């Protein structure tokens, strides 16, 4: 008997039917007041967001804080923030799948949904940032009548277009393919004719024959294998937007791994935020998304938080070690210059606060993890703010220095984007199974044998 004991992945001694009932029930019953209230709130925020975007687009970018010398502002900061959040979903669904981490099954679906919605939310920002969104199609290499004048493939910004669009489409497809068998479950359970037709169409007529499952599992493995390098490449390429430039504070080789660690960090924090709320809103899910799952995610948060902390420290060391006075100034200005507060908010939220997870009590406490996850979300937004704004506002020539001030419209798009994200997420919880039914059923037995022998 080994001393390491597998924990139960699903609590409550569920049968296969219980799993289908518990998870489908959420989709099949009428939404309660809490959901409707939450949805109306999120939707209003979404409408506010659309209005703000509408005003910015019709009036002009002058409404936002970006100006010389800080040409990248809230739009880019928030874009990187949302893309980063998306990465945890792919990490859970693809990387943990490749590592055969069975605990991923019950959170994978929602984490992937979070990925898809976060990337959709992120995608809006560069388009606003262009200032002329109606010309956004110029970003793609299409045969045009200006030469044809092709896009500049040497630009990291164009790499980003390719990375984000590949990532968005592959994530959507991965999420959807994972959902097909569950949609078939919903179809076969439905009494209502319309429901049967809609889920019948969405499930593509999936039946679950042995041969289909062989192909299906193979494709799932292939997509996981393709998504893993993809997710690492996407945030590396996002970091190239900065790192490939010449600006002190941006021009560093640590950026790709540092950005990827930060993305996982912020994404897991968002998963914790959403899962704590989901567990409270639908108590049945506590059997599937157990405290053990939450604890494991908190361990990931603490680990990646320390990686990010290491990156912060290493940047300072390298700035000093480089002997370049511009580098040294960029970093001392970051911590002690006019934007010192943003730097210390970042360090506090990302490095210090997650240290509470050294204690098992706090790792397993829902209120503590919820609060920490919110802090991490805030901290990770500030990380991108620090990188973008503090590097731009004082570069080589003091005559070229300036300050960045966020306007109402900056705050509008930042806060409003949460309205879009939450609206999509709330709709998702009611329209498709929020836990992967076909993936949870095979792991029902995990931990049961040990439980029996250990008593």
Partner 1 sequence: MDNHDSNEVVSEQNASADVKSEKKLVKESKNKVNRLKKNKPKKTKSSNHTGGVMGIWDDDHKILIAAKKAKTFGFKKLDAITPFPVHGMEEALEIKRSWIPYVTFIMGVVGCAAGVWLTWWTSAVDWPINVGGKPMWSLPAFMPIIFEVTILFAAHSSVLALIVACGLPKINPPVVDPDLTSHKFGLFVPENDEGFSFERVEKIFKDLGAEKIHRVERY
Q: How far apart are CA 185 and CA 22, in angstroms?
A: 12
Binding mask 121-160 for partner 1 (x = CB under 8 A): --------------------x-----xxxxxxxx-x-xx-
Q: Determine contact, residues 170/219, Cβ cutoff 8 Å.
A: no
The single residue among 135, 218, 280, 403 that binds partner 1, judged by CB under 8 A, is: 218
| Residue 171 vs 273, nearer CB to partner 1 | 171
Range 243-302, binding partner 1 (CB under 8 A): none
The single residue among 20, 78, 350, 417 that binds partner 1, judged by CB under 8 A, is: 20
- Please tell me the count of residues contacting partner 1 according to CB under 8 A: 66
Candidates 191, 333, 306; CA nearest to 249 is 333
The single residue among 29, 30, 137, 205 that binds partner 1, judged by CB under 8 A, is: 205
The single residue among 1, 4, 30, 193 that binds partner 1, judged by CB under 8 A, is: 193
| Residue 91 vs 378, nearer CB to partner 1 | 91
The single residue among 370, 441, 446, 450 that binds partner 1, judged by CB under 8 A, is: 441
Sign of the torsion formed by the C-alpha atoms of 182, 187, 191 and 193 = positive
Range 171-190, binding partner 1 (CB under 8 A): 173-174, 177, 181, 184-185, 187-189
Binding mask 369-408 for partner 1 (x = CB under 8 A): ----------------------------------------
Q: Determine contact, residues 26/434, Cβ cutoff 8 Å.
A: yes
Q: How far apart are CA 293 and CA 9, in angstroms?
A: 8
The single residue among 5, 215, 360, 405 that binds partner 1, judged by CB under 8 A, is: 215
The single residue among 25, 59, 212, 322 that binds partner 1, judged by CB under 8 A, is: 212
Question: 115 CB contacts (<8 Å, ≥6 apart)?
Answer: 86, 87, 88, 89, 90, 93, 171, 175, 267
Strands (DSSP E) contained in 337-449 are: none
Minimum distance from residue 3 beta carbon to partner 1 (Å): 27
Q: How many other CB atoms sit within 10 Å of the CB of residue 150? A: 12
Q: How far apart are CA 326 and CA 404, in angstroms?
A: 20
Task: Tell me which DSSP letter residue 30 carries.
Answer: P
Minimum distance from residue 437 beta carbon to partner 1 (Å): 8
| Residue 189 vs 364, nearer CB to partner 1 | 189
Q: Determine contact, residues 263/88, Cβ cutoff 8 Å.
A: yes
| Structure-token pair, residue 76 | 């880019």
Minimum distance from residue 88 beta carbon to partner 1 (Å): 19
Question: 157 CB contacts (<8 Å, ≥6 apart)?
Answer: 241
| Residue 44 vs 214, nearer CB to partner 1 | 214
Taking CB under 8 A as the rule, does residue 223 contact partner 1?
Answer: yes
Taking CB under 8 A as the rule, does residue 211 contact partner 1?
Answer: yes
Question: 4 CB contacts (<8 Å, ≥6 apart)?
Answer: none
Q: How far apart are CA 48 and CA 54, in angstroms?
A: 10
Q: How many other CB atoms sit within 10 Å of the CB of residue 147? A: 7
The footprint of partner 1 (CB under 8 A) covers 15-17, 19-20, 141, 147-154, 156, 158-159, 162-163, 166, 169-170, 173-174, 177, 181, 184-185, 187-189, 193, 196-197, 200-201, 204-219, 222-223, 226-227, 229-230, 233, 237, 240, 437-439, 441-442
């Amino acid at each position: 008997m080994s001393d390491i004991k597998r924990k139960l992945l699903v609590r409550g001694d569920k049968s296969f039917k219980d799993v289908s009932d518990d998870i489908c029930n959420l989709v099949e019953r009428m939404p309660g007041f809490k959901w409707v209230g939450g949805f109306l709130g999120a939707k209003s925020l979404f409408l506010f967001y659309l209005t703000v975007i509408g005003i910015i687009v019709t009036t002009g970018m002058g409404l936002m804080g970006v100006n010389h010398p800080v040409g990248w502002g809230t739009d880019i900061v928030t874009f990187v923030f949302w893309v980063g959040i998306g990465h945890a979903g792919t990490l859970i669904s693809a990387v943990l799948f490749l590592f055969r981490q069975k605990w991923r099954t019950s959170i994978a679906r929602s984490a992937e949904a979070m990925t898809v919605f976060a990337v959709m939310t992120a995608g809006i920002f560069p388009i606003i940032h262009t200032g002329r969104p109606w010309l956004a199609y110029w970003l793609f290499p299409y045969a045009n009548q200006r030469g044809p004048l092709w896009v500049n493939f040497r630009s990291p910004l164009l790499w980003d277009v390719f990375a984000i669009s590949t990532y968005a489409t592959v994530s959507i497809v991965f999420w959807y393919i994972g959902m097909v068998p569950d949609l078939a479950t919903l179809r076969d359970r439905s009494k209502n004719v319309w429901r049967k037709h809609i889920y019948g169409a969405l499930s593509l007529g999936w039946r679950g024959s042995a041969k289909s499952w062989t192909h299906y599992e193979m494709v799932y493995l292939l997509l996981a294998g393709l998504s893993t390098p993809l997710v690492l490449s996407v945030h590396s390429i996002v970091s190239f937007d900065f790192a490939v430039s010449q600006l002190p504070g941006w021009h560093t080789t640590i950026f790709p791994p540092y950005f990827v660690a930060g993305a996982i960090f912020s994404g897991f924090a968002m998963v914790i935020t959403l899962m704590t709320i989901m567990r409270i809103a639908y108590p049945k899910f506590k059997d599937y998304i157990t405290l053990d799952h939450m604890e494991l995610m908190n361990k990931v948060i603490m680990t990646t938080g320390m990686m990010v902390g290491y990156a912060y420290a290493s940047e300072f060391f390298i700035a000093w070690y480089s002997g370049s006075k511009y580098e040294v100034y960029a970093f001392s200005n970051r911590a002690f210059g006019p934007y010192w507060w943003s730097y210390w908010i970042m360090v506090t939220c990302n490095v210090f606060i997650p240290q509470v997870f050294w204690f098992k009590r706090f790792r397993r406490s829902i209120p503590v993890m919820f609060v920490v996850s919110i802090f991490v979300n805030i901290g990770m937004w500030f990380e991108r703010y620090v990188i973008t704004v503090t590097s731009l506002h004082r570069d080589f020539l003091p005559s070229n220095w300036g300050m960045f001030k966020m306007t109402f419209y900056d705050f509008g798009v930042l806060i409003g984007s949460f309205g879009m994200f939450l609206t999509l997420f709330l709709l998702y919880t009611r329209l498709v199974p929020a836990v992967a039914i076909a993936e949870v059923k095979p792991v029902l037995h995990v931990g049961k044998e040990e439980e029996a022998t250990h008593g």
